Amino acid sequence: MMVFVFSIGMLRQYMPKREILLVLAVAFLIGSIGGAFFLQPIYQELPNMASVVEQSMPNNEETLYLDLSSSVDTNQLRSELSGMEGFKSFDETSITIPMWHFNEMERDYFESIVGNINTNYKNYNITEDKIVIELEKNFTSSDALKSFSDWYKLVYGETISYAQIHAVLVIDSTQLDEFEHALLQKGIVASDIDGPVHDSLNKTNSTMLGNIEFTLVCGVVGVIVAVIGIYMDSVVPAYRRFRKFMNKKRKR
């Protein structure tokens, strides 16, 4: 398409001068159409291409943050993931227990008592309608939920059977696609990913032009190509004279 635009520009000598603006307008239109329909799909693949380079680098690691339902058997999940090539570690870091909307007195009560329920509660945070409990290493989410549920039944006469489990999966970057596929088969999608592959993807996306901007840039390129074609008859002789002048200067 740029060859066609260039050819139109070279026909300038056979056109009235007032037609040059029409040539530039057509060049912009053709450049924009070419950019939108032919170059943009390739341009949009640049982040994936950049991430593939990072993914192929040895010793790179990706950290996947998982939010799981308490109905998920985390022991089985850990066993299956640990059997895959590229597995580094799988840790359950915390649980979130949904509650009712606390009033000030209820919130103060939970603030004072939760830390005494189990010594394996590393830390905890009470919000207006949920309790987030951080877990000590090697203390599972099911144990944390059971201990809290047992205490809750003793105090309130009811059981709590649901919580959201937060886990961290560390893998080799080269196996990221395989792990994402394995998790997706179980209906699990990472809430966040941290690592060179994901960082490269985000960095490339943040520096890329939007669809409209990219189309306009392609249109401008079309105009530049047309201008080169328009003035080619002047540029080529000038370039030849310049090269001849430089050759004479070197001989001296």
Element housing 164 (H / E): strand 164-172
Q: Tell me, what's the pLDDT at 126? A: 92
Q: Tell me, what's the pLDDT at 49? A: 67
Q: Tell me, what's the pLDDT at 211? A: 81
Expressed as residue numbers, the domain containing 236 is 2-48+206-251
| 160 and 66 within one domain | yes
| 137 and 66 within one domain | yes
| 235 and 128 within one domain | no
Angle of helix 46-55 relative to helix 196-207, nearest 10 degrees, comes to: 160
| 106 and 128 within one domain | yes
Q: Tell me, what's the pLDDT at 34? A: 81
Q: Are 212 and 32 in contact (CB under 8 A)?
A: no
160 part of a folded domain = yes
| 186 and 67 within one domain | yes
| 214 and 99 within one domain | no
| 17 and 116 within one domain | no
| 214 and 97 within one domain | no
The residue written with tokens 């690592």 in the block is 195
199 part of a folded domain = no
Q: Tell me, what's the pLDDT at 147? A: 92
The residue written with tokens 């000038």 in the block is 238
Q: Can you spell out the DSSP letters for 89-134?
A: EEEEEEEEEE-----HHHHHHHHHHGGGT-TTEEEEEE-SSEEEEE
Question: Cα torsion for 226, 228, 231, 232, to the nearest 10°?
Answer: -120
| pLDDT tens series, the chain, 252 aa | 666 666 666 666 666 666 677 777 878 888 888 878 877 777 776 666 666 666 666 678 889 999 999 888 999 999 999 999 999 999 999 999 999 899 989 899 999 999 899 989 999 999 888 999 999 988 889 899 999 999 999 998 888 878 999 999 999 888 888 999 999 999 999 998 888 777 776 677 677 778 888 888 888 888 888 777 777 766 666 666 666 666 666 655
Question: By C-alpha distance, which of 113, 90, 224 is closest to 170?
Answer: 90
**Structure letter (DSSP) for residue 208:** S
78 part of a folded domain = yes
| 66 and 158 within one domain | yes
Largest CA distance in the chain: 104
| Residue at a domain's end among 154, 170, 194 | 194
200 part of a folded domain = no
Angle of helix 2-10 relative to helix 211-230, nearest 10 degrees, comes to: 40
Q: Tell me, what's the pLDDT at 117? A: 92
- Measured CA to CA in angstroms, residue 47 lies from 66, 100, 204, 233 at distances of 23, 43, 5, 41
54 part of a folded domain = no
